[in-house]
Amino acid sequence: MPASPEAFFLPATTAAGGQRFCLYHPAQGASRRGSVLYIHPFAEEMNKARRMAALQSRTLAQAGFAVLQIDLHGCGDSSGDFGDATWHGWIEDVLQGCHWLRERHGKEGSQANVPLWLWGLRSGCLLAADAARQLGEPCNFLFWQPPAAGKPLLQQFLRLKVAGDLIGGQAKGVMQALRQQLADGAAVEIAGYLMAPGLASGLEQSILVPPTLMAQAQRVEWFELTTREDASLSPVSTQTMGQWQQAGFQASSHIVQGPAFWQTTEIEDAPALIAATTAAVSSD
Amino acid sequence: MDINKEVRRILDEVLSLNGRSVAFTSDTPLLGAIPELDSMAVVTLITTLEEQLGLVVDDDDIDGATFATFGSLTDFVSGKLNS
């Protein structure tokens, strides 16, 4: 029987201010095996992925991990509008989430030195890597469908506007106009989300490069979902993961059968991903 | 690669059609006829085609005619893969 998570507002200590909506799933069982911070993906993908994030968080809590889910600035139930959010501000939110987990860990009096995992989905993986560079302590990474870079994610997001206009009948030149608007320092409105230039540029420049190794045996568990039977890691993922291995990380890749739940039309489950993730994180 | 089969599978996955795409013929209308194919689904479809079939779609390629029917979409994909 899973315990219910604690919902609360975390006052932001960052320049953006306001408060961040958080869900904390305390670790169940006698000893905590680790702390996990979930970093959600971008815009509509965050909403589509809510159910899977909640299911995985509960399962990890049952397996002895303390999990914090934080809604980043301007997202979900946190303060601010999406249009106020910047990439830099989101990194600060991630860092604050890490600090909160560490403090809470101390208060709960669990044994020291359990690993901190940064668990990202899609653009959340990029934020995890960017935040880890400023964290000042070693952490492990749990990547769900990590992009090698933010640039294609931005293009995909801008294409929503093109596709919307396509259905309305006129799509030519829309992309160029959007990019010009951002370059001029103006926000663009896409699929109901106002996107500030500071978010677009941060996302576009972010690449999934490893931070400096801070301890022995820092781990990366890399998951990709597929509906094909004979799937293997894509060439770009193989190359990116190789960079993490070269940097000294213990990286393992996992190809799991399941739908791309962060973008499917219906809200879908990928139970194989939850089982494989819990097994990977729990293994020593 | 069986392009027809791959495009059918990707459509089914992206639009959560639960196997309805099996009945698609080249004349089956898509854009404007399948309610699941909204702007977000169009983008997901393009991205999934790019990622899984290894083709590159230019922004200028995103045209209503491409997504008009199942046949026009498979023609577009074959054209991209053969170019």
Q: Measured between CB atoms, does B82 come within 8 Å of chain A?
A: no
At residue A112, the pLDDT reads 64
The predicted model gives B35-46 an average pLDDT of: 89
Q: Measured between CB atoms, does B20 come within 8 Å of chain A?
A: no
At residue B51, the pLDDT reads 80
Please count the residue pairs, one from chain A and one from chain B, whose beta carbons lie less than 8 angstroms apart. 68
The predicted model gives A24-46 an average pLDDT of: 92
At residue A191, the pLDDT reads 86
Which 8-state DSSP code applies to residue A112? Answer: S
Q: Which two tokens stand for residue A168?
A: 């309305």
Q: Note the residue count of chain B.
A: 83
At residue B53, the pLDDT reads 84
Residues A22, A57: contact at Cβ < 8 Å?
no
Count H helices, E strands: chain B?
3, 0
Tell me the pLDDT tens digit for each residue of A68-123. 999 999 999 999 999 999 999 999 999 999 999 999 987 776 666 789 999 999 99
Contact residues, chain A to chain B, C-beta under 8 Å: 44, 152, 156, 159-160, 162-164, 166-167, 169, 171-172, 175-176, 191, 227-228, 234, 259-260, 263-266, 268
Question: Is the pLDDT reported for residue A156 higher than 70?
Answer: yes
Tell me the pLDDT tens digit for each residue of B42-74. 998 998 888 888 788 888 778 888 999 999 999
Question: Who among B40, B51, B64 is closest to A160 (CB)?
Answer: B40
Task: Report the chain A residue with the minimal C-alpha distance to residue B30.
Answer: A167
Residues A140, A215: contact at Cβ < 8 Å?
no
Q: Which residue has the tokens 């299911």?
A: A55
pLDDT band at residue A2 using 50, 70 and 90 as cut-offs = low
As a whole-number percent, the residues of chain A with pLDDT over 90 amount to 73
Tell me the pLDDT tens digit for each residue of B3-27. 999 999 999 988 988 899 999 999 9
Question: Is the pLDDT reported for residue A1 higher than 60?
Answer: no
At residue B39, the pLDDT reads 85
Question: Who among A44, A171, A268 is closest to B62 (CB)?
Answer: A171
CB contact under 8 A, A159 and B44: no
Residues 6+ apart with CB under 8 A from A50: none
The CA distance from A131 to A123, in Å, is 12
Residues A230, A256: contact at Cβ < 8 Å?
no
Q: Which two tokens stand for residue A80?
A: 């601010």
CB contact under 8 A, B14 and A171: no
At residue A84, the pLDDT reads 93
Residue A25: strand pairing partners: A67
Q: Which two tokens stand for residue A173?
A: 């030149």
The CA distance from A256 to A253, in Å, is 10
At residue A218, the pLDDT reads 94
At residue B1, the pLDDT reads 77
Question: Is the pLDDT reported for residue A181 higher than 90?
Answer: yes
Q: For the complex shown, is ipTM > 0.85?
A: no
Residues A92, A203: contact at Cβ < 8 Å?
no
Q: Measured between CB atoms, does B62 come within 8 Å of chain A?
A: yes
At residue A184, the pLDDT reads 95
The reported pTM is: 0.89
Which of chain A's residues have a Cβ under 8 Å away from the Cβ of B47?
A: 152, 156, 263
